[in-house]
Amino acid sequence: MKHICVIGSGHVGLVTGACLAELGNIVICMDDDAARIDNLGKGIIPFYEPDLEAIVHRNMGERLSFTTDIEMAIKPSEIVFVCVGTPQKASGEADLTSIEAVAQRIAKAMNNYKVIVEKSTVPVKTGEWVRRTIKLNGPDNSRFDVVSNPEFLREGKAVYDFMHPDRIVIGAESEKAANIMKELYQPLKAPVLVTNIETAELIKHASNAFLALKVSYINAVANVCEKAGADVVKVAEGMGYDKRIGRQFLDAGVGYGGYCFPKDLAAFIKIAEELGYDFELLRAVRKINDSQQAQIVTKAKGMLWNLSGKTIGILGLSFKPNTDDIREAPSIYVIRQLQQEGAKIKAYDPRAMGNARVALTDVEYCPDPYEVARDSDALIIITEWDEFGTLDLAKVRRLMRQPVILDGRNMFDPAEMERLGFVYRGVGR
Ligand code: UDX
């Protein structure tokens, strides 16, 4: 059992804190957002993440508490997790001002040996800056080590990913700190890789960029498939059997989105540039992703002719299923483009409509997919929520003004859709 505090109670911080409490540790989650902390104290979770609420409720009180008082969080803690945001600047690089500010505040609260863990995704060399900042601002006798311990949590599966990691990466500058972190994660029985801090920082960026590359690769293949009369779903299946390739992250579609991939990719390209390397492979990954989103609008035009005055129904707004997150979601770009062409937009998402209402005005939000279908000239599937796979398609067809479906996630079988009387197009088939 260890005493831990987590600075930043966003997606990563809250999942990390709650799961570490579930493993038997005493955890204090800290955030400057008083309303958020107040709600968390009442057991109200600020975003949708499966299983998180149950874990928070189970551990609240004795093992898990919430505060806005950073000193109160840090002083009793042996391990301090830094989970504050590292948003993207206009130049693409990560904005690390929050990390620096937190390092200064940690320095002020230093009272005994602590392991300061960077969990947020940060550019290589950030650990070194954190160490210098704490040394500069803390008492002369400050005893601490900095560790890089990147998270690999998928939104929508974050609790599962925390509890069942493929690997734990610990970038440490001392054996003492590495051992403390190994003990902490020992209950998870996952492979542990101990490296220096720079290597751990790079593992995170290299992993996310590789996954984005897989998505863009299959999307590029999908474009060739469309021209060649091949089916990208089968191509992915055929490739996926090869253990060296693997089937995961080979689903062609409208492209990747979310808070991590676009931001981390931009940051990685920028870091490489600063280090004197032009990572043109990753620039191509980004370009392909942008064109996948644009392509949906071109295809809609191809199926409906003029979009002006047409009603287009959007199924799915979150950047992927099982989350209410719409940050960098392809839906936002696609809807704005369709609106610019003069289309009227109706939309439904099982979880993300609250967030969408703030970002996208002039959209008719509907209570269910059938209401979206009613009198629509086309339906566009942007997010592959399970419930769309079980729709009564005959009913959908009856409700639509024109039976046009543009399936941005290849959820349906093209032959079956034709049999049902739809004019149907997927991606790469
Ligand atoms: C990602 C990483 O997976 C996780 O390890 C991390 O550290 C945070 O970033 P997340 O952003 O939650 O997690 O989403 P993920 O499940 O990885 O999907 C990313 C995007 O790629 C989504 O928009 C998804 O729709 C898209 N995607 C994924 C595809 O288009 N095709 C695929 O085959 C897989």
DSSP letters for 195-228: E-HHHHHHHHHHHHHHHHHHHHHHHHHHHHHHHH
Task: Pick the range with the lowest mean pLDDT from 73-82, 124-133, 159-168.
Answer: 124-133
Q: List, as one string, the DSSP characters of 273-334.
A: HHTT---HHHHHHHHHHHHHHHHHHHHHHHHHS--TT-EEEEE--SSSSS----TT-HHHHH
Q: What residues contact 168, with CB distance under 8 A and at least 6 apart?
A: 149, 181, 185, 188, 190, 191, 192, 193
Amino acid sitting at position 318: S
Predicted pLDDT at 146: 97
Residue 62 predicted with pLDDT over 90: no
Query: Atom 19 of ligand 1 has which residue's CA nearest to it?
Result: 256
Mean pLDDT, residues 417-425: 97
Using pLDDT thresholds of 50, 70 and 90, give the confidence band for residue 45. Answer: very high
Hey, which of 215, 233, 326, 383 would you mutate to test ligand 1's pocket, going by the most ligand atoms within 8 Å of its Cβ?
215
Mean pLDDT, residues 214-232: 98
Query: Atom 24 of ligand 1 has which residue's CA nearest to it?
Result: 256
Mean pLDDT, residues 3-8: 98
| Ligand 1 proximity of 319 Cβ (cutoff 6 Å) | yes
Predicted pLDDT at 140: 86
- Which residue segments constitute the domains of the chain, with CATH numbers given? 3-195 (3.40.50.720), 230-425 (3.40.50.720)
State the catalytic residues: 260
Predicted pLDDT at 352: 97
Predicted pLDDT at 382: 98
Q: What's the mean pLDDT when you consider all of the chain?
A: 96
> Would you call 80 helix, strand, or coil by DSSP?
strand
| Ligand 1 proximity of 48 Cβ (cutoff 6 Å) | no
| Ligand 1 proximity of 17 Cβ (cutoff 6 Å) | no
Whether the predicted model's global pTM rises above the 0.85 cut: yes
* Residues paired with 66 in a beta bridge: 29
Rounded to whole angstroms, how far apart are CA atoms 390 and 413?
A: 13
The two tokens of residue 342 are 């003069």
The phi and psi torsions of 32 (rounded to 5 degrees) equal -80, -20
Predicted pLDDT at 78: 98
Rounded to whole angstroms, how far apart are CA atoms 287 and 410?
A: 21
Predicted pLDDT at 296: 96
Query: Atom 1 of ligand 1 has which residue's CA nearest to it?
Result: 154
| Ligand 1 proximity of 316 Cβ (cutoff 6 Å) | no
Residue 103 predicted with pLDDT over 90: yes
Rounded to whole angstroms, how far apart are CA atoms 24 and 64?
A: 10
Hey, which of 154, 201, 247 would you mutate to test ligand 1's pocket, going by the most ligand atoms within 8 Å of its Cβ?
154
Predicted pLDDT at 6: 98
Mean pLDDT, residues 336-340: 97
Using pLDDT thresholds of 50, 70 and 90, give the confidence band for residue 142. Answer: confident
> How remote is the CA of residue 396 from the centroid of ligand 1, in Å?
29
Over the stretch 264-311, which tens digit does the pLDDT of each residue have?
Answer: 999 999 999 999 999 999 999 999 999 999 999 999 999 999 999 999
| Ligand 1 proximity of 257 Cβ (cutoff 6 Å) | yes
Residue 66 predicted with pLDDT over 90: yes
Mean pLDDT, residues 28-52: 96
Q: Which of 305, 294, 317, 303 is nearest to 406 (CA)?
A: 303
Exposure class string for 133-145: b at 16+ Cβ within 10 A, else e: bbeebbeeebebb
The two tokens of residue 267 are 């940051």
Determine the atom of ligand 1 nearest the C-alpha atom of 154: 12
Query: Atom 13 of ligand 1 has which residue's CA nearest to it?
Result: 154
Mean pLDDT, residues 252-263: 96
The two tokens of residue 159 are 């609790």
Query: Atom 10 of ligand 1 has which residue's CA nearest to it?
Result: 154
> How remote is the CA of residue 301 from the centroid of ligand 1, in Å?
28
Mean pLDDT, residues 370-374: 98
Share of the chain above pLDDT 90, in %: 95
Q: What residues contact 358, with CB distance under 8 A and at least 6 apart?
A: none
> How remote is the CA of residue 315 from the centroid of ligand 1, in Å?
19
| Ligand 1 proximity of 325 Cβ (cutoff 6 Å) | no
Using pLDDT thresholds of 50, 70 and 90, give the confidence band for residue 88. Answer: confident
| Ligand 1 proximity of 253 Cβ (cutoff 6 Å) | yes
Using pLDDT thresholds of 50, 70 and 90, give the confidence band for residue 251. Answer: very high
> How remote is the CA of residue 255 from the centroid of ligand 1, in Å?
10
